[in-house]
Structure 1
Amino acid sequence: MADITTRDESREAIRTALVGWKADGVANPIIPVYSDLDGDGVPDFYGLDDNDQLVQVSGVTVVDSVAVSDGCGIEQAGGAD
C-alpha cells in the first residue's frame, strides 16, 4: 500500500512476522503502528492483504492485534519496529 512509510527493511520484517503468526493460526494478524498513518487522528495497524502483502489497517483496537503488554505499556510482539 502506498501510504506505508516505514523503511523497506522494517516493512519486510513486519510482513514476515505477520505471515508467521498467520501460519501459526492467527486468522487476521495485525501489528499496531502506534502512530496515525492516514491522518484520521487514530493510531493505525499493519496487516496482510489476500496475497500476504503488507497493508495499512484502520478502525481496529489494540486488543484485536498481536500486541502484548507487560503491564508497563504496550509493546509489539515479535520485536518489529
Structure 2
Amino acid sequence: MKLNVLYFAWVRERIGVASETVETDAGSINELLDELSAREERYAIAFSDRSVLRCAIDQTLVPFETSLANATEVAFFPPMTGG
C-alpha cells in the first residue's frame, strides 16, 4: 500500500524531509516504524525512542498498535504541549 507520511518538528529535522510517499506492507504503525527505521540511520535515530513520539492516521491520534488498513496518511510528531 502507498501512504503519505508526514513528519513534524524535530522528527522532520532528524529525517530531513517534511513528507514522503512510502510503499509499505506494514500492517500497523509499529511495523511501519520498524520498516522506516531499517531504511537509513536518520530514520533509526528519529524513531529510536517511541515514548517521545505521537502519531496520527488520517488526522486522528492513534496508538502505535493501530492497524494501517484503509489509511492514506500517517503523521509523526513530538507530544503536544499547551501554552
The TM-score normalised by the length of structure 1 is 0.24
Bigger relative contact order, structure 1 or 2 (CA pairs below 8 A, ≥6 apart): 2
Structure with the largest fraction of helix = 2
More strand as a share of residues: 2
